[in-house]
Amino acid sequence: MTSDAIVVGAGVIGLTSAITLAERGVRVAVWSRDPAGDTTSAVAGGLWWPYRAEPEEKVGAWSLRTLGVLTELAARPEETGVRMVEGTLAGTGPEDLGPWAAEVPGLRPARREELPEGWDHGLRARVPLVDMVTYLDYLRRRLEAAGGTVERRAVAGLDEAAGAAPLVVNCTGLGARDLVPDAGVHPVQGQLVIVEDPGLDEWFVAADPGSADTVYLLPQPYGVILGGTAREGVWDLTPDPATAEAIVARCARVRPGLADARVIGHRVGLRPARSRVRLEAETAPGGRLVHNYGHGGAGVTVSWGCAEEAAGLLVSSG
């Protein structure tokens, strides 16, 4: 065996898990059917915020740990793709959040004049906003600098990885539905529209957890990401023109200048949802297997906290 550990999956969860192990001296190889640029992570909006993931108490702790790491990485935005950006979460008050909110620096209720027409309350915060293409490239370089490798390799089962290394981390997202198998993993389809930036310097989100339609505006270096949808159980990756038109219209009610912004791209991703994140260890043939999947729309937000817990489960028991 040339590796101590195999991480299956090269999205943000897999790469972060691999880095955490490699930087602790573990020889790590990442196996992935798809390159990082083709994973669900690559089409994520990239805003740090605990979103549609359970259990709440664990997600809060994982999110705060990740907030600390991303805040440090934001000191080098051109290298990492991470920036600290002010913004508004409309329709949500402090009472709607868990205890984690008290630990977010500067999080406060929005003043009435800070809210667009149609919302009477909300929150203001300065949090990480991640350009995912740049960030995934940074994670891969950081992994390779720590001695890890990434290999394009589709696996038929986790026992294949267990036969190649004594330690395995399953970060397969939706793939866990077949590989584990775990029928509790299901897609939540998200469609986005990317437009030229008419001069936005803040993000805006209004997301009802019970609604299939959301509103968010995320200014990135290459344009503004407009969203979106959260459609349970939908597997289709084809952008729907009517949905795209509705997304732009919803966002233009928040920032009218977006109505005439040139559309430069469409994206559809499938969030790997589960009733609760699965982060636990079990015995595998010849070693140890840790599952780290089911993060829904919060993968970026919980990534470092989950990676550190996964590494602890693996190394302490391996």
Beta-sheet strands, E only, within the chain = 5-8, 28-32, 82-90, 108-109, 122-130, 149-152, 167-170, 186-195, 203-206, 213-220, 223-229, 231-232, 263-273, 278-284, 287-293
Does the annotation flag 296 for ligand binding?
yes
318 is in an annotated binding site: no
Determine whether the annotation assigns residue 216 to a binding site: yes
- Pick from 274, 198, 187: which is nearest to 230 by CA? 187
Is 80 annotated as a binding-site member?
A: no
Q: Is 297 annotated as belonging to a binding site?
A: yes
Is 298 annotated to bind ligand? yes
Which one, of 21, 23, 132, lies nearest residue 70 by Cα?
132
On whether 300 is known to bind a ligand per the annotation, the reply is yes
List the 278-284 sheet strands across, edge first: 149-152, 28-32, 5-8, 167-170, 287-293, 278-284
Distance from the first to the final alpha carbon of the chain: 15
Q: Tell me whether residue 66 is annotated as binding.
A: no
Annotated binding site for D-dopa: 216, 271, 297
Annotated binding site for FAD: 40-41, 155, 172, 296-301
Annotated binding site: 40-41, 155, 172, 216, 271, 296-301
